[in-house]
């Protein structure tokens, strides 16, 4: 199965991506943007993402369009036959979920399709990681793992209730931050307005008797005081206006050179309920705190990996007699790891080659996977990916300039495409910039 196009709707705005049948490099995307795009890609194959539509091509060559409109049932259209074939893909409830047919839910699918730099590291340093985790106090290690799991369950529940996704929690927090800044500026402006009104009125009224009974200098001092206070009040009002403008434009202008601005607007539209917002923010904050605590003792290894290898870790822990021999330094990639990294990439490609419905292939999504790897080591790995994409679609999301530079050159041959953020006209309005495009 290959992605041909992904289309996302948010009110009247539309964001779309066209994919190369072999290798598509999407460069200049930060962590939040990558999280959002991966959620949309995987969500387009499940029943959870209204407003997300996808055009795909099956391994047989048949092309389908999956429509998930807001407030209406999802449909699957056979593009070549111009026929509605939804009944072939719908479950007993009428939902269109291609991944469920393959025994995958959205979270499992992300785990299967996505490859991060940490995934490659853990694949090439399996035994070392097991020993390192085994050296950590077991109650502390698994206690934090359980805390992360509980936080994830709450985050999933909050996302499900709001019609959003767990990855949107960080976006919601960004929106709340913008709103809080506006409210703070508004409160300051109102406070200074009241103070300036009182001081200005008193100064103006006192200026006349001061001039008559004291001196003109005293009167001028009061007038100057009134003017200064009025100027301060005006300045605070302007700051409040600027903060309000920033709040209104945040959804479109925050990260306007990328998908993030559009994603911010879309999530804001999903969470009209104040209760839903607060629950998402609180759940996201707790999840982030739990993950920070976990990474503080486990390095860059995710809890899911630890759970998958818990037996090995506990067995290694029982065998450890001299913990001073266990290194707790972060893992590094060395030049002689090229073969191991190549093997890890090929293993992940092989895993998704038959992971789809009825043994269909699924695209492999690389999430900044080569970041941190030595520059000279990246070239052969990128060439390996280009060669391997001949029979397997790969989508590479990255903010790695080395990958982007390589992709720009290779795109000339037509064997891959590179999508990069386009600049937005500085004179455009918030409504104009809300529909962010990647060319």
Q: Where are the domains of the chain?
A: 1-123+362-439, 169-270
10 Å CB burial of residue 30 (0-12, 13-18, 19+) is middle
What is the pLDDT at residue 124? 75
The more confidently predicted of residues 388 and 126 is: 388
DSSP states along 363-396: -EEEESTTTTS-HHHHHHHHHHHHHHTTSS-EEE
Q: How far apart are CA 92 and CA 344, in angstroms?
A: 38
The more confidently predicted of residues 296 and 280 is: 296
Q: How far apart are CA 352 and CA 392, in angstroms?
A: 9
Query: What's the whole-number mean pLDDT along residues 365-374?
Result: 90
Q: How far apart are CA 171 and CA 169, in angstroms?
A: 5
Kindly indicate the confidence band of residue 335, based on its pLDDT and cuts at 50, 70 and 90.
Answer: very low
Task: Tell the residue number behind the tokens 């460069």, with chain if given.
Answer: 27
The more confidently predicted of residues 81 and 327 is: 81
CATH class of the domain at 1-123+362-439 = alpha beta
Percent of the residues in the chain that have a pLDDT greater than 90, as a whole number: 24
Asked whether residue 435 carries a pLDDT value surpassing 60, the answer given is: no
What is the pLDDT at residue 160? 73
Give the predicted TM-score (pTM) of the model.
0.64
Query: What's the whole-number mean pLDDT along residues 41-46?
Result: 87
What is the pLDDT at residue 171? 63
Kindly indicate the confidence band of residue 424, based on its pLDDT and cuts at 50, 70 and 90.
Answer: very low
Asked whether residue 33 carries a pLDDT value surpassing 80, the answer given is: yes
What is the pLDDT at residue 44? 87
In the numeric block, which tokens belong to residue 189? 């402006």
Task: Tell the residue number behind the tokens 């469920």, with chain if given.
Answer: 100
Determine the 3-state secondary structure of 16 from DSSP. strand
Q: In what order do the strands lie in the sheet with 114-116?
A: 114-116, 364-367, 394-398, 23-27, 416-419
Kindly indicate the confidence band of residue 333, based on its pLDDT and cuts at 50, 70 and 90.
Answer: very low
Asked whether residue 235 carries a pLDDT value surpassing 50, the answer given is: yes
What is the pLDDT at residue 422? 60
Asked whether residue 212 carries a pLDDT value surpassing 70, the answer given is: no
What is the pLDDT at residue 334? 44
Question: pLDDT by residue (tens digit) across 241-295?
Answer: 666 666 555 444 444 344 555 555 555 555 556 677 677 778 888 988 999 999 9
Q: How far apart are CA 305 and CA 80, in angstroms?
A: 42
């Amino acid at each position: 199965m290959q992605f041909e196009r992904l289309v996302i709707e948010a009110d009247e705005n539309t964001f779309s991506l066209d994919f190369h049948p072999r290798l598509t490099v999407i460069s200049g995307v930060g962590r939040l943007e990558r999280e959002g795009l991966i959620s949309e890609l995987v969500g387009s194959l499940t029943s959870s993402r209204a407003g997300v539509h996808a055009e795909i091509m099956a391994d047989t060559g048949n092309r389908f369009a999956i429509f998930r409109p807001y407030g209406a049932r999802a449909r699957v259209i056979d593009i070549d036959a111009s026929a509605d074939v939804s009944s072939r893909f719908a479950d007993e409830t009428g939902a269109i979920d291609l991944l469920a047919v393959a025994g995958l839910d959205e979270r499992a699918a992300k785990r299967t399709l996505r490859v991060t730099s940490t995934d490659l590291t853990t694949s090439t340093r399996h035994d070392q990681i097991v020993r390192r985790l085994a050296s950590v106090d077991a109650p502390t290690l698994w206690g934090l793992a359980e805390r992360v799991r509980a936080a994830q369950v709450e985050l999933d529940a909050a996302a499900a209730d709001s019609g959003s996704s767990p990855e949107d929690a960080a976006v919601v927090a960004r929106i709340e931050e913008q709103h809080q800044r506006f409210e703070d500026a508004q409160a300051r402006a109102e406070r200074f307005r009241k103070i300036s009104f009182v001081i200005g009125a008193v100064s103006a009224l006192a200026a006349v008797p001061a001039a008559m009974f004291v001196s003109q200098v005293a009167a001028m001092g009061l007038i100057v005081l009134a003017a200064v206070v009025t100027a301060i009040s005006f300045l605070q009002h302007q700051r409040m206006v600027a903060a309000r403008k920033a709040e209104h434009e945040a959804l479109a202008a925050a990260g306007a050179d990328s998908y993030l601005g559009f994603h911010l607007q879309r999530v804001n539209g999903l969470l009209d309920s104040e209760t839903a917002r607060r629950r998402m923010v609180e759940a996201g904050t707790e999840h982030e705190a739990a993950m920070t605590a976990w990474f503080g003792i486990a390095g860059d290894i995710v809890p899911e990996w630890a759970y998958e290898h818990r037996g090995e870790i506990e067995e290694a822990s029982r065998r450890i007699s001299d913990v001073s021999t266990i290194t707790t330094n972060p893992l590094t990639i060395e030049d002689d790891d090229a073969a191991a990294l190549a093997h890890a990439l090929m293993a992940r490609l092989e895993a998704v080659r038959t992971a789809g419905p009825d043994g269909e292939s699924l695209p492999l999504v690389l999430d900044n996977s080569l970041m941190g790897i030595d520059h000279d080591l990246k070239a052969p790995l990128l060439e390996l990916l280009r060669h391997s994409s001949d029979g397997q679609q790969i989508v590479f999301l990255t903010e790695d300039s080395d990958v982007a530079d390589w992709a720009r050159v290779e795109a000339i041959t037509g064997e891959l495409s590179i999508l990069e953020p386009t600049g937005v006209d500085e004179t455009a309005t918030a409504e104009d910039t809300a529909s962010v495009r990647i060319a």
